[in-house]
């Protein structure tokens, strides 16, 4: 190496050393809070926590430091420590709205549902306004419910949603539905809200509206797993754990109409027809104004081919809820099978009048026309069902209407 190249190499080394020393010097001059913020942004949670611990020791009244440390504790799943941080913060500043929201989430995850409700209610009492504070996503463990928030700023809709979650855990399903309806009124495009409403409705035994809620969630997000699981459970009447709980309530003599209706639905869904009919009868005796109990008993009678009994129950359900197309469709099906074609046709026509997009109404009106030898009208109705996406109508149309 020539003397000139050696000098150039030495010069370059000195420059790099100087830059490195300058950077090190700058780093050394950062406060623990600044180092914590840097580590936080890099998602180095343990480093952030160690720096925040140092900072808070010397600055025990720094609200933002508690705010940051509480979130970092959540990320490493130290929920009790996070709870302590948010509580300390609220002692220092009872008007720190976001801290109520975050503490409520931590309390929910810890199972402290009553105190979580207090926090979410306090958050909602705070004056509305925009905030620049970030609520970092904390992914909860799988707990069988929808995700506990992924939002970037606290909002009233999420507070109502979490109030609904807490109420479900406390068994206060009516309150849960009220809270979730509030969340939906603020944001009707959130699948989680419909899913949890469906869960609350199912716990009350209101299975038809529960299924509707789950289906709305799946319209918004076809891959929403909790909605899929909820819909499947409702359609099969619930799991065996639920059945044992219902049996225990009945054995204790504290069952109400909803208890018997829900157990009846389970039995109906599992082929226990006689037990289902008995339970629905008990539900009706306790609450003769509940149309669903008549409807489900009618469906069970239909499976037993007791058409007159089924028709009587469907008629009772319709008298209580005359705007329900499912009830009219079911009575029409019962009448169709028992040979009452004119009466069945009237029911299917009324079904379509209530819901012009109900493909099954057109399909059943079509097969009724076909059985009455009114081929032209039958083909027209079947085509409408096909246009509305009913695949089952295609085969019937090809058999009845397709030209040779």
Q: What is the CATH number of the domain that holds 87?
A: 1.25.40.10
Classify residue 283: in a domain, yes or no.
no
Largest CA distance in the chain: 112
* 276, HSE (Cβ side, Cα atoms, 13 Å): 22
Separation of CA 344 from chain center:
37
334 and 212 inside one domain: no
User: What does each of the 404 residues of the chain score in pLDDT, given as a tens digit?
Assistant: 555 455 555 555 555 555 554 444 445 578 888 998 888 888 888 998 999 899 999 999 998 899 999 989 988 888 899 999 999 999 999 989 889 999 999 999 888 999 999 999 999 988 765 454 555 444 333 344 444 443 344 688 999 999 999 998 888 888 999 999 999 999 999 999 999 999 898 888 788 888 899 999 999 998 888 888 788 878 776 656 666 766 776 777 766 788 788 888 888 877 889 999 999 999 999 999 999 899 999 999 998 999 999 999 999 999 999 999 999 999 999 999 999 999 999 999 999 999 999 889 999 999 999 999 999 999 999 999 999 888 888 888 988 887 64
Cβ proximity of 155 and 130 under 8 Å:
no
Rounded to the nearest 5°, which phi and psi values hold at 356?
-65, -10
Classify residue 397: in a domain, yes or no.
yes
201 and 328 inside one domain: no
State which of 174, 197, 220 marks the end of a domain.
220
Structural domain span for residue 360: 324-404
Distance CA(73)–CA(69), nearest Å, equals: 6
Classify residue 241: in a domain, yes or no.
no
Classify residue 51: in a domain, yes or no.
yes
State which of 220, 239, 255 marks the end of a domain.
220
212 and 337 inside one domain: no
Q: How far apart are the first and last CA of the chain?
A: 97
Q: Which pLDDT score, from 0 to 100, does residue 278 have?
A: 93
Classify residue 42: in a domain, yes or no.
yes
**Rounded to whole angstroms, what are the CA distances from 268 to 235, 276, 304?**
10, 5, 11
State which of 197, 220, 243 marks the end of a domain.
220
Q: Which pLDDT score, from 0 to 100, does residue 43 have?
A: 84
Taking Cα atoms as reference points, which of 301, 295, 346, 287 lies closest to residue 318? 295
Classify residue 376: in a domain, yes or no.
yes
69 and 190 inside one domain: yes
**Rounded to whole angstroms, what are the CA distances from 255 to 1, 23, 239, 248, 280?**
96, 72, 18, 9, 13
Q: Which pLDDT score, from 0 to 100, does residue 130 have?
A: 47
Distance CA(262)–CA(266), nearest Å, equals: 6
Classify residue 58: in a domain, yes or no.
yes
210 and 344 inside one domain: no
209 and 336 inside one domain: no
Q: Which pLDDT score, from 0 to 100, does residue 30 have?
A: 83
Cβ proximity of 189 and 220 under 8 Å:
yes
- Contacts (Cβ under 8 Å, ≥6 apart) of 119: 100, 101, 103, 104, 107
Classify residue 38: in a domain, yes or no.
yes
Number of domains forming the structure of the chain = 2
């Amino acid at each position: 190496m020539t003397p000139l190249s050696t000098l150039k190499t030495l010069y370059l080394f000195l420059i790099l050393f100087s830059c490195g020393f300058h950077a090190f010097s700058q780093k050394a001059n950062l406060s623990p809070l600044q180092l914590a913020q840097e580590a936080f942004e890099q998602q180095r949670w343990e480093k952030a926590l160690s720096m925040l611990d140092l900072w808070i020791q010397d600055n025990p009244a720094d609200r933002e430091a508690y705010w940051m440390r509480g979130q970092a504790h959540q990320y490493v799943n130290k929920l009790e420590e996070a709870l302590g941080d948010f509580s300390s913060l609220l002692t220092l500043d009872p008007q720190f709205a976001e801290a109520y929201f975050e503490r409520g989430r931590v309390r929910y995850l810890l199972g402290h549902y009553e105190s979580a409700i207090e926090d979410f209610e306090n958050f909602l009492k705070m004056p509305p306004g925009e905030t620049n504070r970030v609520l970092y996503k904390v992914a909860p463990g799988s707990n069988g419910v929808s995700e506990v928030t992924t939002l970037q700023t606290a909002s009233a809709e999420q507070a109502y949603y979490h109030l609904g979650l807490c109420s479900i855990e406390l068994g206060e399903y009516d309150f849960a539905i009220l809270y979730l309806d509030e969340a939906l009124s603020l944001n009707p495009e959130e699948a989680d809200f419909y899913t949890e409403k469906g869960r609350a409705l199912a716990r009350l035994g209101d299975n038809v509206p529960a299924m509707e809620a789950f289906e709305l969630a799946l319209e918004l997000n076809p891959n929403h797993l909790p909605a899929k699981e909820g819909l499947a459970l409702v359609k099969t009447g619930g799991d065996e754990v639920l059945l044992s709980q219902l049996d225990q309530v009945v054995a204790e003599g504290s069952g109400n109409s909803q208890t018997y209706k829900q157990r009846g639905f389970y039995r109906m869904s599992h082929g226990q027809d006689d037990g289902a009919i008995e339970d629905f009868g008990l539900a009706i005796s306790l609450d003769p104004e509940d149309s669903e109990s008549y409807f489900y008993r009618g469906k069970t009678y239909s499976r037993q081919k007791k058409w007159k009994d089924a028709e009587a129950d469907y008629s009772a359900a319709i008298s209580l809820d005359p705007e329900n197309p499912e009830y009219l469709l079911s009575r029409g099906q019962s009448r169709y099978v028992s040979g009452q074609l004119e009466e069945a046709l009237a029911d299917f026509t009324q079904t379509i009048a209530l819901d012009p997009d109900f493909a099954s109404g057109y399909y059943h009106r079509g097969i009724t026309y076909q059985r009455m030898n009114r081929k032209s009208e039958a083909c027209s109705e079947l085509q409408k069902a096909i246009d509305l996406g009913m695949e089952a109508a295609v085969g019937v149309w090809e058999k009845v209407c397709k030209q040779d």
